[in-house]
């Protein structure tokens, strides 16, 4: 029997989520009410998280489409925490009759992110990414039923499908070149491509094409250039809670998929890959930061901020491509976590201010918030400072690691041209951080230095809890970044270990065959 | 049979690429959102054709098993799931805009 007990055990954390999400879909038709199902979903995340934690202790030797490395564990824990937090926000802000569907769809989405984190196979990876995309369309659609939301949903849907198709087209080329769908391990894409020269002609010359298509396709999920332009329109049309979801969860999936495919599994085009990624990083963060400067709509502002942060994450990806074991993957992961909680805190704060009649969407609605709602203003300020990268908050350590990674490649790499490129990247990143500070600080200035306005803000308890949690976490990570650094560094070395092992085996085989010849 | 021998992987790749580009052009130029959805199907099938051609045991010296065919099956199922969601989205768009012309989706800008 192919599906045996071990397979179920291995997939148990994800299976729990899918089963209980189905239960919520069915049960929601009988038992209505938000908190009933919200608490049920929180319990489900608890069970799933416990199952992941137990899975670490057990010896994970099973290979195949699932990878047991600790990069997967970091992603899965992050996904579960994000899922629980977004459940709180969405439970309190979704319409009552749609609350159960919203919560269950979110669970499927989180399950998709968890599966992306441990995918070691092209089929598995693509299906997991679709498990992230399709629930996102449904969630956007469930948020509101007005003109703006329906337009945002249509725009997001068609661009997302196009980007999935571009990614798939890239994966076909990768499959054609390597002749297998496994990413890392013996007889995998990674070991096949290791010895394949791009210039030799034949199928190998398709690898750069595959790489460009894959980066473009995953760039949509990260909101990176060239598929970035949807973000401002879609965030503006979505509810605050959904915009937060779009800004955080697909980005996690996109970055991890990019690391798994483009960084780890495609070693023969690394030279070309870091050139492409580096240019995209520079363009993405500059476009994001410069366009954010004159935005008055808060969700548009955060959309351009999300684009800019995708650019920063690409710095880490470029570093990881240019130099092995350079801390690039670890820095990107750390930045991803920091960005996720900073952005989540901001959107949760906006959601907590909204009521059924009125939603907070324009910057001037926040004026004088420090006097009318001091806690919310404080949380927003903490998140803004962290996203701007001001010490001692978590965002500072994120940017610090990424920029030092770029500087390390610039100083340590052999080639003159490489040094110049990465020096430009580090300087570009620093200039961008300065530009970004302008619009983040403008939000803080509006809250603290402008006269208070009469506004009937809502009291969304779930969103307020999440906002405070995110703000506290951002401060705590800023003061004690070491624990998370240890986790991400371990994730990087464990993700690269399979690759190093495969290279060693290949080298030994080469020696063995050369000795047999005489 | 002799005519078939001269057909290689690259012929299939060309057909796949033509399907892909036709689909993208269809998505870019069609104004009816169901027309755009048909463009999506063309793009996905272009990729499917690539998978089948690369995985085919008739076109390649070493057998690759059924991975390519399997991936195509998954993509077909996913395309069906996406079409189901797309119809719901198009219906919602129609309820708000009284049309499914995607050019009418131009309220959000700034």
Contact B109 A233 (CB under 8 A): yes
Contact B110 A134 (CB under 8 A): no
Per-residue pLDDT, averaged over B94-107, amounts to: 86
CA-based torsion, A61, A63, A66, A71: positive or negative: positive
Q: Which of A183-197, A253-267, A442-456 has the lowest mean pLDDT?
A: A183-197
At A63, is the pLDDT very low, low, confident or very high (cuts 50, 70, 90)? Answer: low
pLDDT digits (tens, 9 = 90+) for A154-189: 999 999 999 999 999 999 999 988 888 888 887 888
Question: What is d(CA B19, CA B13) in angstroms, rounded to the nearest whole number?
Answer: 10
Q: Is A321 left (phi over 0), alpha (psi -120 to 50) or beta?
A: alpha
User: Domain range spanning residue B79?
Assistant: 11-102
Whether residue A48 has pLDDT greater than 90: yes
Per-residue pLDDT, averaged over A365-389, amounts to: 92
Contacts of B20 in chain A (CB under 8 A): 165, 169
Query: Is the minimum CB–CB distance between A226 and chain B shorter than 8 Å?
Result: no
Residue B91 counted as domain residue: yes
Query: Is the minimum CB–CB distance between B70 and chain A shorter than 8 Å?
Result: yes
Task: Give the max Cα distance, chain B.
Answer: 61
Q: Which of A33-47, A303-317, A496-510, B16-30 has the lowest mean pLDDT?
A: A496-510
Q: Return the CATH number at B26.
A: 1.10.287.3510
Q: Considering CB atoms only, which of A141, A165, A237 is closest to B47? A: A165
At A518, is the pLDDT very low, low, confident or very high (cuts 50, 70, 90)? Answer: very low
pLDDT digits (tens, 9 = 90+) for A335-367: 999 999 999 999 999 999 987 777 888 998 888
Contacts of A361 in chain B (CB under 8 A): none
DSSP state of A3: S
Query: Is the minimum CB–CB distance between A294 and chain B shorter than 8 Å?
Result: no
Whether residue A385 has pLDDT greater than 70: yes
A90 — phi, psi (to 5°)?
-70, -35
Instruction: Give the nearest chain B residue to A300 (CA atoms).
Output: B110
Instruction: Give the nearest chain B residue to A203 (CA atoms).
Output: B10
For an interface test with B, give the residue of A135, A153, A161, A362 to mutate (most B CBs within 10 A): A161
Query: Is the minimum CB–CB distance between A50 and chain B shorter than 8 Å?
Result: no
At B51, is the pLDDT very low, low, confident or very high (cuts 50, 70, 90)? Answer: very high
Q: Would you state the pLDDT for residue A499?
A: 66
Per-residue pLDDT, averaged over B47-63, amounts to: 83
Name the residue with higher pLDDT: A344 or A510: A344
Three-state SS at A98: helix
Contacts of A233 in chain B (CB under 8 A): 108-109
Which of A202, A207, A205, A206 lies closest to A190, judged by CA?
A207
Instruction: Give the nearest chain A residue to B19 (CA atoms).
Output: A169
Contact A146 B96 (CB under 8 A): yes
Name the residue with higher pLDDT: A59 or A344: A344
Query: Is the minimum CB–CB distance between A237 and chain B shorter than 8 Å?
Result: yes
Extract the runs of DSSP E, i.e. beta strands, from A117-249.
none
At B5, is the pLDDT very low, low, confident or very high (cuts 50, 70, 90)? Answer: low
Per-residue pLDDT, averaged over A399-416, amounts to: 88
User: Domain range spanning residue A77?
Assistant: 5-514
CA-based torsion, A324, A311, A444, A231: positive or negative: negative
H and E: helices and strands count for chain B: 4, 0
Residue B4 counted as domain residue: no
Q: Which of A159-163, A504-508, B60-64 has the lowest mean pLDDT?
A: A504-508
Question: What is d(CA A76, CA A95) in angstroms, rounded to the nearest whole number?
Answer: 29
Residue B28 counted as domain residue: yes
Question: What is d(CA A406, CA A413) in angstroms, rounded to the nearest whole number?
Answer: 11
B77 — phi, psi (to 5°)?
-65, -45
A184 — phi, psi (to 5°)?
-130, 145
Query: Is the minimum CB–CB distance between A179 and chain B shorter than 8 Å?
Result: yes
Question: C-alpha angle with apex B99: B94 to B104, nearest 5 degrees?
Answer: 105
For a pLDDT cut of 70, what percent of chain A falls above it?
94
Question: What is d(CA A430, CA A165) in angstroms, rounded to the nearest whole number?
Answer: 35
Whether residue A486 has pLDDT greater than 50: yes
Q: Would you state the pLDDT for residue A105?
A: 96
Report the gap between the CA of A123 and the closest CA in chain B (Å).
6
Q: Would you state the pLDDT for residue A67?
A: 83
Whether residue A73 has pLDDT greater than 80: yes
CA–CA distance from A29 to each of A23, A92, A140 (Å)?
Answer: 10, 19, 21
Whether residue A58 has pLDDT greater than 70: no
Query: Is the minimum CB–CB distance between A259 and chain B shorter than 8 Å?
Result: no
Contact B71 A123 (CB under 8 A): yes
Contacts of B88 in chain A (CB under 8 A): 138, 141
Query: Is the minimum CB–CB distance between A126 and chain B shorter than 8 Å?
Result: yes
pLDDT digits (tens, 9 = 90+) for A443-475: 999 999 988 876 778 878 889 999 999 999 999
For an interface test with A, give the residue of B108, B109, B110 to mutate (most A CBs within 10 A): B108
Q: Torsion angle, CA of A412/A415/A421/A424, rounded to 10 degrees?
A: 50
Tokens standing for A440?
């983040």
Q: Would you state the pLDDT for residue A334?
A: 95
Q: Are A484 and A369 in contact (CB under 8 A)?
A: no
Q: Would you state the pLDDT for residue A191?
A: 84
Q: Would you state the pLDDT for residue A222?
A: 92
Query: Is the minimum CB–CB distance between B103 and chain A shorter than 8 Å?
Result: no
Tokens standing for A10?
């291995």
Those residues whose C-beta lies under 8 Å from the C-beta of residue A231, and which sit 6 or more positions away, are A223, A246, A303, A304, A306, A307
Count of other CB atoms within 10 angstroms of residue B60: 17
Whether residue A505 has pLDDT greater than 70: no
pLDDT digits (tens, 9 = 90+) for A293-333: 989 999 999 999 999 999 999 999 999 998 877 789 999 99
Q: Would you state the pLDDT for residue A61?
A: 54
Residue B39 counted as domain residue: yes
Q: Considering CB atoms only, which of A122, A152, A165 is closest to B108? A: A152
Whether residue B23 has pLDDT greater than 50: yes
For a pLDDT cut of 90, what percent of chain A falls above it?
62
Give chain B's domain count.
1
Whether residue A285 has pLDDT greater than 90: yes
């Amino acid at each position: 029997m192919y599906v045996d007990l071990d397979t179920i055990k291995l997939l148990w954390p994800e299976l729990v989520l899918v089963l209980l999400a189905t239960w919520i879909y069915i049960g929601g038709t009988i038992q209505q009410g938000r908190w009933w199902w919200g608490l049920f979903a929180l319990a489900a995340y608890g069970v799933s998280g416990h199952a992941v934690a137990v899975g670490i202790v057990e010896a994970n030797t099973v290979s195949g489409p699932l990878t047991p490395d600790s990069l997967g564990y970091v992603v899965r824990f992050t996904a579960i925490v994000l899922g629980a937090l977004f459940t709180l926000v969405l439970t309190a802000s979704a319409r009552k009759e749609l609350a159960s569907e919203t919560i269950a769809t979110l669970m499927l989405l989180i399950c998709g992110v968890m599966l992306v984190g441990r995918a070691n196979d092209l089929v598995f990876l693509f299906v997991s990414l679709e498990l992230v995309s399709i629930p996102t369309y449904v969630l956007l659609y469930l948020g509101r039923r007005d003109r703006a939301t329906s337009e945002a949903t249509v725009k997001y849907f068609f661009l997302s499908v196009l980007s999935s198709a571009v990614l798939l087209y890239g994966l076909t080329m990768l499959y054609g070149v390597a002749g297998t769908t496994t990413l890392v391990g013996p007889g995998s894409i990674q070991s096949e491509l290791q010895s394949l020269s791009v210039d030799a002609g034949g199928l190998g010359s398709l690898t750069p094409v595959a790489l460009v298509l894959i980066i473009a396709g995953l760039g949509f999920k990260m909101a990176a250039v060239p598929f970035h332009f949807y973000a401002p329109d879609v965030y503006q049309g979505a509810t605050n809670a959904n915009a937060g979801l779009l800004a955080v969860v697909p980005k996690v999936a996109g970055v991890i998929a990019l690391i798994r495919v483009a960084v780890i599994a495609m070693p023969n085009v690394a030279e070309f890959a870091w050139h492409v990624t580096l240019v995209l990083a520079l363009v993405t963060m500059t476009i994001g930061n410069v366009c954010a400067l004159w935005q008055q709509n808060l969700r548009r502002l955060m959309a351009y901020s999300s684009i800019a942060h995708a650019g920063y994450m690409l710095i880490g990806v470029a570093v990881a491509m240019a130099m092995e074991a350079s801390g690039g993957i670890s820095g990107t992961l750390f930045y991803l976590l920091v960005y996720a909680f900073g952005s989540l805190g901001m959107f949760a704060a906006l959601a907590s201010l909204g009521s059924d009649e009125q939603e907070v969407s324009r910057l001037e609605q926040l004026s004088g918030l420090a006097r009318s709602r001091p806690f919310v203003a404080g949380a927003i300020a903490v998140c803004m400072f962290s996203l701007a990268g001001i010490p001692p908050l978590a965002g500072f350590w994120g940017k610090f690691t990424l920029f030092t990674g770029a500087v390390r490649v610039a100083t340590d790499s052999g080639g003159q041209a490489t040094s110049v490129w990465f020096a430009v990247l580090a300087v570009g990143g620093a200039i961008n951080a300065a530009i970004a500070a302008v619009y983040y600080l403008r939000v803080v200035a509006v809250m603290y230095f402008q006269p208070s306005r009469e506004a009937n803000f809502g009291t969304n308890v779930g969103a307020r809890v999440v906002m405070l949690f995110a703000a506290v976490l951002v401060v705590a990570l800023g003061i004690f970044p070491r624990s998370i650094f240890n986790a991400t560094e371990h994730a990087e070395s464990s993700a690269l270990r399979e690759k190093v092992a495969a290279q060693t085996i290949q080298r030994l085989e080469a020696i063995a065959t050369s000795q047999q010849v005489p | 049979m002799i005519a078939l021998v001269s057909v290689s992987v690259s012929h299939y790749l060309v057909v796949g690429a033509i399907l892909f580009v036709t689909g993208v052009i269809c998505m870019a130029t069609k104004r009816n959102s169901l027309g755009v959805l048909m463009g999506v199907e063309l793009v996905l099938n272009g990729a499917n054709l690539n998978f089948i051609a690369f995985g085919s045991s008739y076109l390649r010296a070493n057998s690759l098993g059924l991975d390519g065919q399997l991936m195509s099956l998954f993509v077909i199922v996913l395309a069906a799931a996406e079409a189901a969601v797309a119809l719901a989205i198009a219906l919602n768009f129609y309820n708000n805009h009284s049309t499914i012309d995607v050019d009418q989706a131009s309220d959000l800008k700034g």
